[in-house]
Structure 1
Amino acid sequence: MPNSYYSDYRRTEEAASLEAFFRLAASRHDAGEIRFLCIGTDRSTGDSLGPWVGTMLQERGFGRVIGTLEEPCDADYLPRALKSLPPEAPVIAIDACLGRPESVGRYLLAEGPLQPARSVRGSFPPVGSFSVAAVVNANGPKPHWTLQTTPLLRVLRMAEEIADAAALAWGMNDHLCSWRTIRYNRTNQ
């Protein structure tokens, strides 16, 4: 099977899982009450997934988004962001992570919290009623370097898939996906 076909097939499968995940959240909470906590920085390619997702969610009409390219929810800001969240608020936490080579490009979806900065041995409390951890690259001995050298196209495609799936689940699909037209060749991962 050609690499690009396999990649396109897997991407479709992952996008369907994301959409089902967000539909579960949408069945319990309307778009006005849900908060998206998009964790990451704009200073590292791999770790920029969160701010990209946050920006794309705002572009699709979501109002309660913490963590965008303009105002990233990075390691310095995250403690303040966590304190600003109302205790009973439904939160979808979104963060990049590193994983096994065969998991790159996939999503770890959970009804429950994620541990921010775990890949780089950070020490933040778990966060989220729901969580999306996007495996942007393979784990290795130098996680910071691995995140720095993660291909931007992979991050953008994954961010867009997350934002599109959320928009579809809440019926906010007026401005979907501009990057889908770019062919993604698995050899560029």
Structure 2
Amino acid sequence: VPPTHSTPGPSFALQVTPIRELTPVRDPAPVRNPILVRDLTPVRELTPIPEREPTPVSPRPPSPPPRTEEVGPTTSTRPPSPTRHTFVHVDISEGGGDFVSSPQSNEAPQTPAATAAGEAEDSAALTALSLKLDRCLHMVTTLENELGITKKVLGGAVPKLVIRVKRLEGLLQQQKRKLRLFDSEGEDATPTEKDIDLAALHTLA
């Protein structure tokens, strides 16, 4: 019997894949606690800033009473507001820094009592100025009324006075003329030396 040729079927040979060696896993690095690190950093102590004592407010002498003749702007005697400078203190250490700011001023801060005294002084000055203004307005109104009345009264009296003065001047000129005429007539009536009788004078003597 001749041998029969058969088609070979698929071979089921197992292929073994090489297994990789396991790499050792590193241990996790310890995580630093930020709170503990911040606590361990040394912090410098802040030097205390000495505060200036407020200057005592000296009592001011009483202001003289306002005059009605003079009216002028009143100037306030309040001191100017001090300029403030901000001082920043920086504390830098390992792991961080702290910022501390403290305001400083050239002059001591004003106390509430000084502020209240300044406001009271300003209000008193404004009150005095308003009183002066009212008095001046009243005086101006009174003078205007008196001037108007005077104009009304003198409006008819002045022409009458002018007419009367002119009449008196005319009468004076007439009196002067009469006196001149009387003097001239008297000179004509007086006897001259020719008219005098010398013999009669001797007999009388």
**TM-score, scaled to structure 1:** 0.14
Q: Highest Rg: 1 or 2?
A: 2
**Looking at both structures, which has the greater relative contact order when contacts are Cα pairs under 8 Å and sequence separation is at least 6?**
1
**TM-score, scaled to structure 2:** 0.13
Structure richer in strand, relative to its length:
1
